[in-house]
Each structure stands twice: as C-alpha cells, then as structure tokens.
Structure 1
C-alpha cells in the first residue's frame, strides 16, 4: 500500500485557523465530497461518530481521524495542515496542527488497518512532521508525505 494511492494531491489543504474540531471535520467532509465524490454530510457524521468512541489525536500535534463509508471502493485520504493548532483531545493534551483523515469502505477490514498503520508510521517521523510544518504549499506537502514513505521503505 502506498500513500500516493491513498492521498490525491488535491486532497491536501492548508488553513490558517480553524475554530473547532467540528469545523475541521466539516472541511474534511468537503474534501471527501470534492475530491472523492463522497457525501460531505455522511463523511462528517462518520468522522464524528468514530471520534465519539475516543479521540484520534495521537500526540505530537498529529491527529488521524478515520471513518468507514458506503460507496467507496478503496481507502482514501485527506490531509490538512493548520497554521494555528487546535485542541483535539489528543492523548498528550497537545494541540493538533497535522491532520491525516482516512475514509475506508464499509467492509474494508484489513486494508483500513494497513492504511492507518502506514499513515501513523509516516507521521511518527519527526523529520517528516518538521518538513510538513515548515511548508504551506499543498503540492509540497503532498510530495513530503509521499516521498517520506518511499525513503522509509528504502531504509
């Protein structure tokens, strides 16, 4: 599984500020609709439903919200970088500025877990996170994310 197949370049966004986690999920829903043809409201509802089970803020300013949705054939991703971090209820209580959301088919099973593990591994790399935080161009952010995986596999 490759990050480049999960994340289309047009699914990478940068925002200066975001008022809340709810507003962030609305933006992710818009990306899911615009880029992948999903229902924005279904995507938002599924993300909120998953989040109600426990926060998906994994620490160090990173969140990995994810949801299963009908009408998808493959796992898809969206990445948002915030210039001003927001409270996300993360495990380390730190605000979040790097958000990689995953949308998986209803019955994706192991593919969903593999995608989550791949994104988690990539965003645990402090060098990758530093490069993401140092850039505001969506094309550059996409390149950092997809090249990070390639260089990690080579190592």
Structure 2
C-alpha cells in the first residue's frame, strides 16, 4: 500500500484556523465528502464514535482520526494541515496541526490496518512533518506525502 493509493490531490487542504476538535472533525468529514463523494454526516458520526473510544492524537502534533464507513469501496484518506494547532486530547498533550483521516469499508480488516500503519509510520518521521509544516500549499503537501515513500523505496 502507498500514499498515492490512499489519497487524491483534492483530499488535501490547509485550514487557517478551526475552533475545536469537533469543528476539525466536521472539516475532515467535509473534505472526504468533496474528494470522494462520501456522506459527511455518516463520516462525522463514525469519526466521533471512534474518538469516543480513545483519542486519535498520536503525539508530536499529529492526529490520525479513522473509521470504518458504510458505502466506502476502498481505504481512502484526507489530509489537513492547520496553520494554528488545536487541542486534540493527544497522548502527549501537545496541540495538533497535522491530521490524516482514514476511511475504510466496514468489512476492511487487513487493508485498514496496513493503511493506518503506513500513515502512522510516515508521520512519526520528524523530517517529514517539518517539511509538511513548512509548505502550506495543498499541491505541495500532496507531493511531499506521495514522494516520501518513493524516497524510501529508492
């Protein structure tokens, strides 16, 4: 699995500011709806249910909200860079500014876990996160995300 298989250029967005974690979840849901045609209310509900199980803020300013969604054909992602970090109840209590939402079919097992592992492993790389934070242009962010694994493979 590769980033290029998970995310479309239209599923990358920079947001100047957002007021709360819940508002951010709305933003992630809306982005997935516009990029993939998924129903935003269904996504939001699934993300909030997953978040209720435990926060998906993994530390170092990164959050990986994810959920299984009815009507999704394959695992897809949405990336948001916040210009102003927000509190996300992260494990390290640091505010979040890099958000990668993952949406998988309800019956997805291994594929969902592989996608989550890929994104998690990649966004634990401080150099990659620094590069993402330094380039607040959606097209550039998409290139950075999809090129990161190409560099590893080379």
The answer, yes or no, to whether TM exceeds 0.5 is yes
Q: TM-score, normalization: structure 2?
A: 0.98
Aligned match of 1:12: 12
* Structure 1: gaps of 5 or more residues: none
Instruction: Give a deviation string over 1:71-97, Cα, whole Å, max 9, x none.
Output: 111000000000100000000000000
Query: What SS does the corresponding residue of 1:89 show, helix, strand or coil?
Result: coil
The alignment partner of 1:91 has SS state of: coil
User: For 1:19-68, what per-residue CA distance to the aligned partner results, in whole angstroms no more than 9, with x for missing partners?
Assistant: 00110111111111111111100000000000000000000000000000
Gaps of 5+ in 2: none
Number of corresponding residues: 154
Q: Who is 1:130 aligned against?
A: 130
TM-score, scaled relative to structure 1: 0.98
Alpha-carbon shift at residue 153 of structure 1 (Å): 2.7
Runs of 4+ in 1 over 4 A off after TM superposition: none
Query: What does 1:107-118 correspond to in 2, within 5 Å?
Result: 107-118=107-118
CA RMSD of aligned residues (A): 0.6
The reply to whether residue 94 of structure 1 matches residue 82 of structure 2 is no
